[in-house]
Amino acid sequence: MNLLWLQSAGCGGCTMSLLNAEGPDLITTLEAAGIQLLWHPSLSEQTGSEVLTLLNALVAGEIALDILCVEGSMLRGPNGTGRFHVMGGTDVPMIDWVQQLAARARYTVAVGTCAAYGGISAAGANITEATGLQYEGEISGGLLGDEYRSDAGERVINVAGCPTHPNWVTEALIELALGEFSAERVDEFGRPRNYADHLVHHGCSRNEFYEYKASAEQPGDQGCMMENMGCLGTQAHADCNIRPWNGEGSCTRGGYACINCTAPEFEEPRRSFTETPKVAGIPVGLPTDMPKAWFVALASLSKAATPERLKRNATSENLIYPPTIHPHKKG
């Protein structure tokens, strides 16, 4: 299968993350899946006229385009012209290239939350008129429109994340290459369900603190960061703590609150990312599927039963009290 990768507005962080794929690495994965990388602006040697010849051949249908991957948001400004981002050497706005290529692609994949929903590039006043491929925030539409379907009859596949986990991308590409993809394999925002059907909360190393509502109070504390530090891990759809980056890291393991970066409009929290908004002392953002009354009742019971060990450790930067050792009783 032929894969073309374009980078639009953004930081390139999804490509940086993808290069950290391991077991196997990116190139080995693509080769094993029978995917030919036609061009990537950061990884390929071709430049200038070589790339332009390739793009024109793809648009004309002279070369089959099986997978179009787009990283970064689509800039429609100023005034819908797209000339805030013109592809170098072509004098043609990136949005025009994407629209023409998407019309030819068997599958179109948005890599990262910027390409999927607009992301960081669409934050604030959004003077660049940034949008996602088929979503503008939570609203279906975006650059390609709600009615867009690829040559295989599919909507855009949104491998959302800021950045994406490398395995989220490679798994999506392998599914396409093996012919195993179907509309049932993505959720209502077009995210692959192999990671979006989980929550960041699942597998979090701070879950014991969460269970007893032993909360961190300031950066560096070991406790649960939901109550005070803005953590959205109980609402964020991703498996970051089930398969951490490089087998080791995640935001919460690194001491930083989950900001729900796989979600549309995560870039507009209307508060500090590290602050939990509350009403009458109760966090506004409660765990997914949990009624407020249940949470209040369970939180009260949990706090009443919190072991002293967890209370002390929760507001410490280092482990103070290890779990009690219970000797085996003989006889």
Backbone phi, then psi, for 312, in 5-degree steps? -75, -40
Task: Report the mean per-residue pLDDT for the chain.
Answer: 92
**What's the pLDDT at 179?**
95
DSSP 318: S
pLDDT band for 250, please (50, 70, 90 cuts): very high
DSSP 167: H
Q: What is the pLDDT of residues 46-73, one digit of tens each?
A: 999 999 999 999 999 999 999 999 999 9
Please give the model's pTM, rounded to 2 decimal places.
0.91
Q: Which helix (H) or strand (E) holds 157?
A: strand 157-159
Q: How far is CA 299 from CA 211, 226, 232, 293, in A?
A: 8, 12, 17, 10
pLDDT band for 331, please (50, 70, 90 cuts): low
The rounded distance, in Å, linking the Cα atoms of 35 and 129 is: 33
Q: Which helix (H) or strand (E) holds 197?
A: none
Q: How far apart are the first and last CA of the chain?
A: 67
- Find the mean pLDDT for residues 245-268: 93
- Find the mean pLDDT for residues 23-47: 93
Give 198-317's CATH code, choosing from 3.60.20.10, 3.40.50.12780, 4.10.480.10, 2.140.10.10. Answer: 4.10.480.10
- Find the mean pLDDT for residues 88-103: 96
DSSP 162: T
Any idea of the CA torsion for 262, 267, 272, 273, to the nearest 10 degrees?
20
How far, rounded to the nearest angstrom, does the alpha carbon of residue 50 sit from its chain's CA centroid? 32
The rounded distance, in Å, linking the Cα atoms of 43 and 40 is: 5
Q: How far is CA 202 from CA 122, 198, 242, 244, in A?
A: 29, 7, 7, 11
Report which of 161, 164, 159 is spatially closest to residue 176, judged by C-alpha positions: 159
**The pLDDT of residue 275 is above 70:** yes
Residue 12: CB atoms within 10 A of its CB come to: 14
Is the preceding omega at residue 24 within 30 degrees of 0, hence cis?
A: yes
Backbone phi, then psi, for 106, in 5-degree steps? -70, -40
The number of residues making up the chain comes to 331
Query: Which CATH fold topology does 2-196 show?
Result: Rossmann fold (3.40.50)
Q: What is the pLDDT of residues 221-235, one digit of tens each?
A: 999 999 999 999 999
The tokens describing 167, both together, are 């395995």
Q: What is the pLDDT of residues 106-147, one digit of tens each?
A: 999 999 999 999 999 999 999 999 999 999 999 999 999 999
**The pLDDT of residue 175 is above 80:** yes
- Regarding predicted confidence, which is higher, 70 or 270? 70
**What's the pLDDT at 325?**
84
- Domain segments of the chain as ranges: 2-196, 198-317
Backbone angle region of 41, left / alpha / beta, with phi > 0 → left and psi within -120 to 50 → alpha: alpha
Same CATH fold assignment for domains 2-196 and 198-317: no
**The pLDDT of residue 294 is above 70:** no
pLDDT band for 85, please (50, 70, 90 cuts): very high
- Regarding predicted confidence, which is higher, 272 or 142? 142
Residue 106: CB atoms within 10 A of its CB come to: 17
Which residues contact residue 162 at a Cβ distance below 8 angstroms, ignoring those fewer than 6 apart?
Answer: 13, 112, 113, 114, 119, 120, 261, 262, 266
